[in-house]
Amino acid sequence: MNSTSAVPSDLAAWIDRIRGRDMPVFARTVDALRRIVGDERASASALSQVILKDAPMTTKVLRLANSAYFNHAHQGINTVSRAIVVLGFDPVAQLALSVALIDALLGGGVRCRVHREMARSFHAAVQARWAIQRRGESLGEEVFIAALLSRVGEMAFWCFGGEQAQALERCMSQGGVREEEAQQMVLGFSLRHLSAGLVREWRLGSLAAAAIEGDVRSRGPERAVVIGERLARAAEEGWDSAAARRAIREAADYLALPPSAVSAEVVANADEAARVAAFFGAPEAGRAIPRGAPFTAAPEPEAAAVPAAPDAALQLRILQDLAAMSLERVAIADILQLAAEGVLRGVGCERVVVALLTPDRLHLQGKMGLGAGGEALCARFAFSMDGDPDDVVDDAIDSGKACWVNPARVERGGTERLLAVTASESGFVVPFGSATRRIGVLYADRNGRLLDDESWRAVQHFALQASLAVALCAADGGSG
């Protein structure tokens, strides 16, 4: 916040300011993810589309999905679609939410205090997840995210607090004043209340809210979050400190185990937390976590990269996933989602649209759009089926022949309708479906940049795999 900006006067004003001005992109991501997670009918493809709109988010979600910390089966994951199959719908949505939060904060005015708060949050999240799993409960990912989000107000304030953040830091550095007392003196409220307000405002989950506001005597999953936070804070005084010994005894009591049985695990969790922070793209926060051994950031898995050019190895892995999903009779919508993701990430196209014929076969309508501008293009991608053999869209459906639209083809005609929608003279239109009944087309381009032979062949391979899935589904007598 610059010096000429109006300083929020109370807690409600700070909540409004952070939500509306400082973190609006995060707020939109939260809204999109919340709508999907709250809809029991939402498909994996809907979640994939939200994540794939953001290339950095895609990279980080896949990096986390391939990490041993989240991928217990150690299955190679090349696509967001596959991540949802392996890890589950809700865990991937939660990873995307946490990635969006960390990215929003790292994009602000990062200062030493922000890294310290992030360090506490990651450390608390890892300790909390360990505690709930050590009890034999299957809420590890939910508890992890709740702990990470439970300090959202602290992180956001130090990131965007400007002059008031500087004033609070001066007050806290004078000594003799506890953190919450200093916050009340400078701000008139505690940052914990700011976290509670933001969690409610963004509807980040009942578990995060319960951890912030709930009964500290609770034995439910929110108790694991509280224990994680206490372990993280105590570690800052040293693992041999009285505070750390108290926190370890509290964790041992929660687990009904002697302190000697858990103390080594608690210290090892700090090293794990540093690695997890690096996977989230916050290595500075990882280095701020008190540890019992030197920490080296883990290398980023190769599968997590989002290529800017065709990647034959990634294409092969995604095609193999497609073949496996087809044999498993996965829903056609999920097959098409994965095929589109393969064209986007493996072939290196910038916009991909999956369009389907309406039931009466009189219109072709975009159903799924990926990449930069892909969703907007999908909304415009609508054509009547007039049976004109010279029109590339009509011909793709009627003849089943793929078309590589290029400047030379534009001069010959037949692309007027398509060009009016895509505004790109270079693109691929590839039909898919059974040999006797096409059901739609796969469209891909590089937003006006020229395409190449390698990409042309690759896109046809993905459309062929989608067609095989359609044929298998038809043989089963269903629509998927």
Is 474 buried (19+), middle (13-18) or exposed (0-12) by CB count in 10 A? middle
Helix or strand or coil: residue 334?
helix
% of residues, the chain, pLDDT over 70: 90
* 220 has a pLDDT exceeding 90: no
Non-local CB neighbours of 415 within 8 Å, separated by 6+ positions: 392, 405, 409, 425
With bands split at pLDDT 50, 70 and 90, how would you rate the model's confidence at 111?
Answer: low
Find out whether 470 and 452 touch, Cβ atoms under 8 Å: no
* 475 has a pLDDT exceeding 70: no
* 108 has a pLDDT exceeding 70: no
Non-local CB neighbours of 112 within 8 Å, separated by 6+ positions: none
Lowest mean pLDDT among 115-119, 198-202, 326-330: 326-330
pLDDT in tens, 123-145: 999 999 999 999 988 888 889 99
How many C-beta atoms lie closer than 10 Å to residue 242's C-beta? 10
With bands split at pLDDT 50, 70 and 90, how would you rate the model's confidence at 303?
Answer: very low
Find out whether 298 and 279 touch, Cβ atoms under 8 Å: yes
Lowest mean pLDDT among 188-192, 386-390, 434-438: 434-438
Say which amino acid occupies 464: L
Q: List the domain boundaries for the chain.
A: 11-302, 312-475
Note the pLDDT of residue 269: 94
% of residues, the chain, pLDDT over 90: 41
Residue that the structure tokens 């302190």 belong to: 259
What six digits make up the tokens of 164?
């008031």
Q: Is the pTM of this model over 0.75?
A: no
With bands split at pLDDT 50, 70 and 90, how would you rate the model's confidence at 304?
Answer: very low
In sequence order, what E strands does 373-471 have?
382-384, 403-405, 427-433, 438-445
Helices and strands of the chain, counted as H and E runs: 24, 6
DSSP codes, 61-75: HHHHHHSTTT-TT--
- What is the mean pLDDT of the segment spanning 227-241? 93
With bands split at pLDDT 50, 70 and 90, how would you rate the model's confidence at 480?
Answer: very low
CA angle 96, 97, 101 (to 5 degrees): 115
Is 438 buried (19+), middle (13-18) or exposed (0-12) by CB count in 10 A? buried
Give the fold, CATH level 3, of 11-302.
Hypothetical protein af1432 (1.10.3210)
Note the pLDDT of residue 313: 87
The C-alpha atoms of residue 141 and residue 99 are separated, in whole angstroms, by 14
Phi, psi angle pair for 45, to nearest 5°:
-65, -35
Residue that the structure tokens 């109370």 belong to: 10
The C-alpha atoms of residue 60 and residue 70 are separated, in whole angstroms, by 13
Q: Which residue has the higher pLDDT, 441 or 40?
A: 441
Helix or strand or coil: residue 148?
helix
Lowest mean pLDDT among 129-133, 361-365, 387-391: 387-391
Whole-number Cα distances in Å, 353 to 221, 356, 425, 438: 42, 10, 16, 16
Which class does domain 312-475 fall in?
Answer: alpha beta
Q: Which residue has the higher pLDDT, 335 or 295?
A: 335
What CA dihedral angle connects 126, 80, 32 and 446, to 10 degrees?
A: 130
* 252 has a pLDDT exceeding 50: yes
CA angle 42, 48, 51 (to 5 degrees): 120
* 231 has a pLDDT exceeding 80: yes
**Of the candidates 448, 412, 413, the residue with the CA atom closest to the CA atom of residue 427:** 448
- What is the mean pLDDT of the segment spanning 374-391? 91
Find out whether 405 and 384 touch, Cβ atoms under 8 Å: no
